[in-house]
Structure 1
């Protein structure tokens, strides 16, 4: 991966990490209903990306399924899960998307994983688990929802590679549109007081919604789709393992979460894995990346 693209991936992970903290505050502390939050976020994104909606990418069924997976599926399930799980538990479970994406990319795209990248993924994932693990970790409904969310995101990323050439903002427009169409009816049915609850949270909640829509979705996710289009899906997915580590660092800075020896050791292991993943490990991936330059 080119250094500039790796730095872009790092910036994406920083934005995602800050949004993880913000989303947890919105749903758990300010009591903004998760489906309403997701629908409004996608509504803002849909309005901003409306000029890129047409012409509709072909085949039509694939872009609609992609929108459902990466909009209505992945995000809605994740935000609902925040009602049951802590931020650290969520950070562990969502990393299941990395091996999921790797396996799906092998089966559906024929991507080949060399031993160095396999080692890097194992180190990065192992380091994240060391950092985030707490005694008493158990499976709950929230965990199952997070696993479902991770699978939706992984399948969507792999299917996006099958779409061929598509502008990232056009893809973002369809993800947002499908998200609004699917999630809004469920919010109206199951969150009857959603607007009142959100208004009660005041201007901070509105500012958080705008940040999630404009910075996290339109900038960070569009940039992520750009990188998915240029590099192997399993490579880009593996680099997202930086997100929970950055989330932990932001928690330490913003809310004084303690950092001990376990965290330092796990972070060192994870970052060594990220470095191995980011390095050019073979001629085939390099050729593919440069071919799209």
Structure 2
């Protein structure tokens, strides 16, 4: 990988990490309803990428399902979780999506794994359990929502493996449109936003929306897919571990996240497992890309 692309990937990971923390502030500190926030985000993405909707990727039902899972389902659940969960914990627990994707690939696509990837899956799940462990074998509802978010993204990624090549902006257009159409009515049914509180957030909230929709979804994700098409997964995927590490650092610095021995031990174990899984020899089409923020 040349220096320019390496620095570009680092920048992408830092953008994803910053967005995790910003999303926490939006839904927790500013009191913006999480489904509403996700709906507005994807409506902006859909509006900006509207010219790329056609031609429709085939089969249509599959791209709709992928868009709903990797967009609306994954992000709405994550934003709901961030109301009560720290960005650091969410970033580590969401790494469970890597082994979940592998296990779903075995069940749905009939893929096989060798002992090294099985070890990586086990380490990742052990690390996640260490992070979420509380006395009495209880797991918070927020962390369960993070796991549900990771599962949605993983199932979407597996379905994506059955699609042909899709241009990154066309993929973003369908994620944006399907997610906005799902989340807008859900927000009306599920949430009763305090519009006075939402509007009180003012320009910072507008800035968070623009950053999340344009910089993260349209910008960073599109550039990431471009790098995926250029390099093998075993080169790209390990470097994306910068995202959870940077999220932990920003979370500790900005949102006062907990960083004790349990969090450190669980994070190291989980990220080691992810690294082992990611180092498999394979070419990663857009289909294998997980949404990171």
Short-chain TM bin = 0.7 to 0.9
Deviation at 1:237, TM superposition (A): 7.1
> Quick check: 1:102–1:233 contact (8 Å CA) kept in 2?
no
What residue in structure 1 maps to residue 179 of structure 2? 179
What residue in structure 1 maps to residue 21 of structure 2? 21
> Quick check: 1:97–1:153 contact (8 Å CA) kept in 2?
yes
The CA distance in 2 between the partners of 1:236 and 1:125, in whole Å, is: 22
The CA distance in 1 between the partners of 2:244 and 2:183, in whole Å, is: 26
The one-character-per-residue Cα deviations of 1:68-91 (angstroms, maximum 9, x if unpaired) are 111221111111222333334433
The one-character-per-residue Cα deviations of 1:224-277 (angstroms, maximum 9, x if unpaired) are 555666789899777655432221112234456676666666666566556555
**Are 1:79 and 2:82 an aligned pair?**
no
The CA distance in 1 between the partners of 2:225 and 2:190, in whole Å, is: 31
1:141/1:277 CA distance change after superposition, 3 Å:
closer
**TM-score normalized by structure 1?**
0.79
Aligned-pair RMSD on alpha carbons? 3.5
1:244/1:61 CA distance change after superposition, 3 Å:
same
- Report the secondary structure of 1:162's partner residue: coil
**TM-score normalized by structure 2?**
0.79
The CA distance in 1 between the partners of 2:7 and 2:262, in whole Å, is: 27
> Quick check: 2:92–2:267 contact (8 Å CA) kept in 1?
no
The CA distance in 2 between the partners of 1:254 and 1:82, in whole Å, is: 14
Question: Aligned runs of 1:13-162 on 2, under 5 Å?
Answer: 13-123=13-123, 132=131, 135-136=134-135, 138-162=138-162
> Quick check: 1:102–1:234 contact (8 Å CA) kept in 2?
no
Give 5+ residue unaligned stretches, structure 2.
Answer: 286-293
The one-character-per-residue Cα deviations of 1:124-172 (angstroms, maximum 9, x if unpaired) are 6655666x45654732333332222111100101111211111111011
Comparing 20-29 with 253-262, which one deviates more in the overlay?
Answer: 253-262
The one-character-per-residue Cα deviations of 1:78-136 (angstroms, maximum 9, x if unpaired) are 11222333334433432221211011122333444343444455556655666x45654
1:162/1:189 CA distance change after superposition, 3 Å:
same
1:196/1:221 CA distance change after superposition, 3 Å:
farther
- Report the secondary structure of 2:161's partner residue: helix
1:112/1:219 CA distance change after superposition, 3 Å:
farther
**Are 1:217 and 2:217 an aligned pair?**
yes
1:264/1:59 CA distance change after superposition, 3 Å:
closer
What residue in structure 1 maps to residue 288 of structure 2? none
The CA distance in 2 between the partners of 1:118 and 1:3, in whole Å, is: 32
The CA distance in 1 between the partners of 2:129 and 2:41, in whole Å, is: 30
What residue in structure 2 maps to residue 249 of structure 1? 249
The CA distance in 2 between the partners of 1:81 and 1:96, in whole Å, is: 15
The CA distance in 2 between the partners of 1:185 and 1:217, in whole Å, is: 22
Deviation at 1:50, TM superposition (A): 1.1
> Quick check: 1:69–1:155 contact (8 Å CA) kept in 2?
yes
1:197/1:261 CA distance change after superposition, 3 Å:
closer
